[in-house]
Structure 1
Amino acid sequence: MNKHPISIRLLTKDDFKIIETAFKEQGWDKPASQFEQYAREQDKGERIILVAEYLNQFAGYVTIKWQSTYPPFLEMDIPEIVDLNVLIDYQNKGIATKLLDEAEKMVADTHFTIGIGFGLIEDYGAAQRLYVRRGYLPDGRGISQNGKQLKRGDQVQVDDDLALYLTKTL
């Protein structure tokens, strides 16, 4: 038996419904079809999906996009951590840290830098602090929305797509 309560592994097709149900039970919409798409991308080598279990129960996941949809990362060949989520009941147990440790280790095998973006609303506060503590720094390009760099005077709707992007040297 694994002596550590947290284990990390790759996504399998058996996970799709388990993940959907777990998030639905806490009121978050993460449909099985999202993970089916992720699995297709994983099979093509475009994305890696890491699943965390806590005491053998699904607890969260993270994905690595080898070719980011954020234009500056794409231009500089910086893989991006995307869609880090830990179930509410499993937060503050080191699960996000373990997921990020494994993601960074996988990226470090082939790249010197990793990127991540996060929303600017309060919902992302814990993630914002976590990334800074782990050594991620703003990429210096300001804020973006839906992949577009915003400029002084732009008017935006504050939502999950209003983001700041950071990088970390591995």
Structure 2
Amino acid sequence: MNLHIRKMTEKDPIVISNAFEEQGWHKSVELYHKYVKEQGCGERISLVAELEGEFAGYVNVIWSSYYDYFRECNIPEVCDFNVLKKYQRRGIGSKLMDKAEEIIREKSRVAGIGVGLFSDYGNAQILYIKRGYIPDGKGIHNGERYVKHGDSIIVNDDIVLYLKKQLMN
């Protein structure tokens, strides 16, 4: 398997957006231009995986998480992690995560990640647990606050359980 992982460049946004559009997922070109810009400012690292020269997936590391607990504890977050459906179950996601954790390890001994709670996130849930991520103990978060007992919520992509992992040398 000829897999290459590198930082996202200005050439990637259209390729990535088109690749996800082909599988029925709308991900705007502007989103990826934002990632490239933020990477240039040192706010994030955006990694791209190419298999046999073709775009296969990507992952981001953000140094100052949008999630309050991670931000307050200076826990870098792995986020917006996607592998095209046609390339899943080939170890590409694991290789992207390896590289993201390697980058985080340069600045922190802890990595954070959030995962959705419904079945679309099943593979990610399994991957993160197998990699040693455990819940942060704060409960379910809806993007604005923690969900409390008795709350009525709509289960969507904003309903997340945050996990963290101790990184070893």
TMscore range, shorter length: over 0.9
Structure 1 match to 2:102? 105
Structure 2 match to 1:66? 63
Q: Structure 1 residue 128 and structure 2 residue 125: aligned?
A: yes
**CA distance in structure 1 between the partners assigned to 2:85 and 2:104 by the alignment:** 27
TM-score calculated relative to the size of structure 1: 0.96
Measured after TM superposition, the shift of residue 37 of structure 1 is 0.5
Task: Mark the runs of 5 or more structure 1 residues left unpaired by the alignment.
Answer: none
Other structure's SS at 1:148 match: coil
Count of residues in correspondence between the two structures: 167
Structure 1 match to 2:6? 9
Measured after TM superposition, the shift of residue 55 of structure 1 is 0.9
**CA distance in structure 2 between the partners assigned to 1:64 and 1:23 by the alignment:** 20
**CA distance in structure 2 between the partners assigned to 1:9 and 1:28 by the alignment:** 23
Alignment of 1:1-170 (within 5 A): 4-170=1-167
CA RMSD of aligned residues (A): 0.7
Deviant stretches of 4+, over 3 Å: none
TM-score calculated relative to the size of structure 2: 0.97
Measured after TM superposition, the shift of residue 128 of structure 1 is 0.1
**CA distance in structure 2 between the partners assigned to 1:141 and 1:5 by the alignment:** 40
Other structure's SS at 1:49 match: strand
**CA distance in structure 2 between the partners assigned to 1:106 and 1:147 by the alignment:** 28
Measured after TM superposition, the shift of residue 153 of structure 1 is 1.3
- Whether the aligned pair in 2 keeps the contact of 1:69 and 1:147 (CA below 8 Å) is no
